[in-house]
Structure 1
Amino acid sequence: MIAGAALLACCTAAYGASSKLAPSDEAAAFKAAGFTLKGKQWRSCDDPTPTYSPGAIAEVRDLNGDGRPEAVITEGGTYCYGHTGAAYTLVSKQADGRWKAMGGGTGIATFLPTKGKGGWPDIEVGGPGFCFPVVRWNGKEYKFNRHQYEGKACRPNR
């Protein structure tokens, strides 16, 4: 289990270096992900504990090759996200300039080379354990596709 600032450093590093968004795009991306600006922090979880890490844009890049940016927004803390201690939301800038939430959940998103409809990458959702769900874009939403560990099929312990 990772706490507080260590979680944000962990998870931001996992996504790699990020490009910056213009302030108006950044605010619109957070709002599309369901975050509210409280003071100087973007929050989707009302976590009162010291382990909380507020919303952060962990990565900005064009994931599906359409020439428009996508952003991965992360937030952390065990109060809202249990033993995983992290959550992500993937948002995409649309052709009309609006931002749209494409998917997200509890865990750490890792983009895979395998693809769903429209060139969207599959997402492995990491957390505790050794068998992770992979979600795939079906043209409307990211849905469960399989479980894997280190690229090999696995069955989670139930």
Structure 2
Amino acid sequence: MKLSEADRVAVFKAAGATQRKGRWIICAPPADAGAPESGEAVIDRVRDLNGDGRPEAVVTDGGTYCYGFTGIAFQLLSKQANGSWRVMSSNNGIPEFLKTKGKDGWPDISVGGPGFCFPVQRWNGKAYTLNRHEYEGKRCKPQR
């Protein structure tokens, strides 16, 4: 699935990105922070995740100043019936869309990062919320 240029711009704007020097930026360290410049926000993938016939887009952004040890954050956006884009989930980490599903056919999202026990979010009809923790498909308890 490919997005039009107008949809690409709308996705980045809905994700809170601004364009600087031809790059889309979501989080940038202050100039006086002495931190390396963060990465460019990108549309990582586009596909219909929930079977409604409209595309979803995953926007990722990187940089340890903004996202700590994980070094990456994502936003899942969905094209609405009126043509606008809505943020469905936003988190620090690497999203993995699982076969298990929440309400309305939305896939569960495992949010990967450092460690071995990852949070899994499930769509409840209004928001993605914590449902469980898993590692390699098996439930686990995160270390405290």
TM over 0.5: yes
Task: Identify the structure with the greater helix proportion.
Answer: 1
Deviation at 1:44, TM superposition (A): 1.3
1:110 maps to 96
Select which of 64, 70, 75 maps to 1:78.
64
8 Å contact from structure 1 (residues 51, 78) kept in 2: no
TM-score, length-scaled by structure 2:
0.93
Percent of aligned pairs sharing the same letter: 61
Which amino acid in 2 is paired with 1:59? R
What are the Cα deviations for residues 7-53 of structure 1, in whole angstroms up to 9, with x where unaligned? xxxxxxxxxxxx43111000101111111112211111013644622
Select which of 21, 39, 61 maps to 2:21.
39
What are the Cα deviations for residues 70-118 of structure 1, in whole angstroms up to 9, with x where unaligned? 0000000100000000000000001111111111110000000000000
Quote the Cα distance in structure 1 between the aligned partners of 2:44 and 2:2.
10
Quote the Cα distance in structure 2 between the aligned partners of 1:113 and 1:157.
25
Quote the Cα distance in structure 1 between the aligned partners of 2:79 and 2:21.
25
Quote the Cα distance in structure 2 between the aligned partners of 1:64 and 1:24.
22
TM-score, length-scaled by structure 1:
0.85
Residue 78 (structure 2) pairs with residue 96 (structure 1) = no
What SS is found at the alignment partner of 1:54? coil
Gaps of 5+ in 1: 1-18
Select which of 125, 135, 146 maps to 2:121.
135
8 Å contact from structure 2 (residues 98, 109) kept in 1: yes
* Runs of at least 4 residues off by over 2 Å: 47-52
Quote the Cα distance in structure 1 between the aligned partners of 2:126 and 2:82.
18
Higher relative contact order (CA 8 A, sep 6+): 1
Count residues in correspondence.
140
Backbone CA RMSD of aligned residues: 1.1
Which amino acid in 1 is paired with 2:56? E
Which amino acid in 1 is paired with 2:95? A
Residue 127 (structure 2) pairs with residue 149 (structure 1) = no
Quote the Cα distance in structure 2 between the aligned partners of 1:60 and 1:137.
19
2:8 maps to 26
Deviation at 1:65, TM superposition (A): 0.2
